């Protein structure tokens, strides 16, 4: 997992691993052999027809006369106008009302109505800050009502989700590093502005996987160069695996934005420099996010990386690629490779990958990012059919000597996959941009 991706810098080749304070070094592991897979809306002016049926005993403040244009026959349930609870927003549904769609919305001339209970509906709008749906009055420019959540089983919307936070106080939550405090379970417990950033970054992740998927399908001639940068000269043998990872990553990224996805994000306060991480063995697929580094534009690549570690996740239909962390692509440690990257790319990690895929990996480079090299060692051993590899240096030598092994391990390495995905997105966007410019020239 990438944590805080630094811009490319020039490094001296005489530095030692101890001189590099890598933001991708692993924190402590709560379980032996299963550490965190990380690196050391405005409304229209029309009014739905409503017969006001207020409680005659209620105290009603004087209001100016208004003109009501009929659309649908509905009646406001008896309420106390001064009480800003869900009751204040309830409506009696008219005889004829649009059917609810798969998301539980009844759409009437661009307005959204939801079923609260039998014979009770409410209008909702999306809160532009938090992204959540709130009950609203037709007169409001911004929704003022409580947050509502769709319950798929009953097809109704409720004040609270019928759920239990899965995995609460389990070994992964209790095994956080000393000095790390869990402060938010689910996006609803994050401050609104932080939850909005996470949701925005999730959309960026989905866009990255989606654009890369289009690039793969269109078979751009330039794609071979991208593949060779990340998977070496034997890239053709692993291209189906990369395509599958992108497809699975896209599906998972959509699920993390769905109903069950909100509870998969946990906020922590820590002195560490890790941006986010997850535990590969966590069936709940939770992502721990360090709020200290939570800002727009800094999280998407890390989230994409983490999603690639997933396999089956409870309540998700998608199955992740189950990628490993054999090695990381860190520009902050490129001086520890056997040669400097020769080409500078829009995605700087691509140049680092090129050196590694040419057999330029070193044990010193690996030591910058982690102390535990068990995944790399097991990856080499598994590929060669060996019981184990005696030491890290031997494993590195074997890796550098075998291009087929390098291709295979890179195609199962989360950092290689997410950075290759990003490069494919850049390729797709450049091709579509040039095509648009060409069309403008032709029109002239």
Quickly count: other Cβ atoms within 10 Å of residue 226's Cβ. 25
Count of H-run helices and E-run strands, the chain: 11, 13
pLDDT number for residue 62? 46
pLDDT number for residue 441? 58
Measured on CA atoms in the order 129, 132, 133, 134, is the torsion positive or negative? Answer: negative
pLDDT number for residue 242? 98
Distance CA 152, CA 136 (A): 21
Q: pTM of the entire structure?
A: 0.69
pLDDT number for residue 50? 36
In tens digits, what is the pLDDT along the chain, a chain of 444 residues? 444 443 333 333 345 565 565 665 556 555 555 665 555 433 333 333 333 333 334 444 444 444 444 444 444 444 333 335 788 899 988 878 888 998 889 998 888 999 998 889 999 998 877 677 899 998 888 898 988 888 877 888 988 655 556 778 888 898 888 889 999 999 999 999 999 999 999 999 999 999 999 999 999 999 999 999 999 999 999 999 999 999 999 999 999 998 889 999 999 999 888 899 999 889 999 999 999 989 998 899 999 999 999 999 988 999 999 999 999 999 999 999 998 888 889 999 999 999 999 999 999 999 999 899 999 999 999 999 998 888 999 999 999 999 999 999 999 999 999 999 999 999 999 999 866 655 655 555
- Contact call for residues 318 and 267 (beta carbons, < 8 A): no
Give Cα separations from 37 to 49, 145, 171, 322 (angstroms): 55, 40, 15, 11
- 302: nearest Cα among 255, 244, 253: 253
- Contact call for residues 372 and 196 (beta carbons, < 8 A): no
Distance CA 286, CA 267 (A): 10
Give Cα separations from 336 to 19, 393, 402 (angstroms): 11, 14, 20
Strand-pairing partners, residue 290, are 268
Q: How many residues does the chain have?
A: 444
Alpha helices in 69-191 (DSSP H): 171-174
């Amino acid at each position: 997992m990438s944590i805080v991706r630094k811009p490319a810098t020039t490094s001296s080749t005489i530095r030692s691993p101890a001189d590099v304070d890598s933001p991708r070094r692993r924190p402590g592991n709560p379980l032996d052999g299963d550490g965190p897979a990380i690196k050391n809306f405005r409304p229209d002016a029309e009014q739905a027809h409503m017969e006001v049926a207020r409680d005659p005993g209620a105290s009603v403040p004087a209001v100016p006369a208004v003109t009501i244009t009929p659309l649908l026959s509905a009646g406001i349930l008896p309420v106390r106008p001064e009480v800003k609870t869900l009751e204040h927003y309830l409506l009696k549904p008219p005889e004829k009302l649009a059917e609810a769609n798969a998301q539980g919305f009844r759409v009437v001339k661009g307005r959204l109505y939801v079923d609260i209970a039998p014979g009770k509906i409410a209008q909702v709008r999306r809160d532009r800050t938090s992204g959540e749906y709130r009950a609203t009055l037709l007169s409001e420019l911004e929704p003022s009502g409580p947050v509502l959540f769709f319950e798929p089983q009953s097809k109704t919307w409720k004040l609270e989700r019928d759920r239990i936070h899965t995995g609460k106080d389990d070994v992964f939550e209790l095994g956080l590093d000393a000095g790390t405090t869990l402060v938010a379970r689910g996006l609803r417990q994050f401050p609104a502005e932080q939850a909005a950033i996470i949701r925005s970054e999730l959309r960026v992740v989905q866009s990255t996987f989606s654009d890369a998927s289009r690039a793969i399908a269109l078979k751009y001639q330039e794609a071979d160069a991208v593949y060779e940068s990340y998977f070496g000269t034997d890239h053709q043998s692993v291209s189906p695996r990369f395509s599958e990872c992108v497809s699975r990553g896209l599906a998972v990224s959509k699920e993390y934005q769905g109903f069950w996805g909100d509870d998969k994000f946990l906020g922590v306060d820590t002195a560490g420099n890790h941006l986010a991480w997850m535990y590969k063995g966590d069936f709940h697929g939770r992502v721990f996010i360090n709020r200290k580094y939570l800002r727009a534009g800094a999280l998407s690549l890390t989230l994409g990386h983490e999603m690639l570690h997933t396999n089956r996740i409870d309540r998700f239909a998608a199955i992740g690629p189950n990628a490993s962390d054999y090695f990381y692509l860190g520009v902050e440690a490129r001086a520890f490779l056997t040669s400097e990257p020769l080409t500078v790319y829009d995605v700087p990690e691509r140049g680092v990958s090129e050196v590694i895929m040419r057999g330029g990996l070193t044990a010193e480079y690996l030591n910058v990012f982690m102390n535990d090299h068990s995944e790399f060692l097991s990856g080499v051993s598994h590929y060669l059919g060996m019981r184990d590899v005696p030491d890290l240096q031997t494993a590195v030598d074997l890796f550098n000597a075998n291009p087929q092994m390098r291709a295979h391990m890179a195609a199962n390495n989360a950092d290689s996959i997410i950075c290759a995905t990003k490069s494919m997105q850049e390729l797709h966007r450049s091709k579509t941009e040039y095509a648009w410019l060409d069309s403008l020239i032709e029109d002239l």
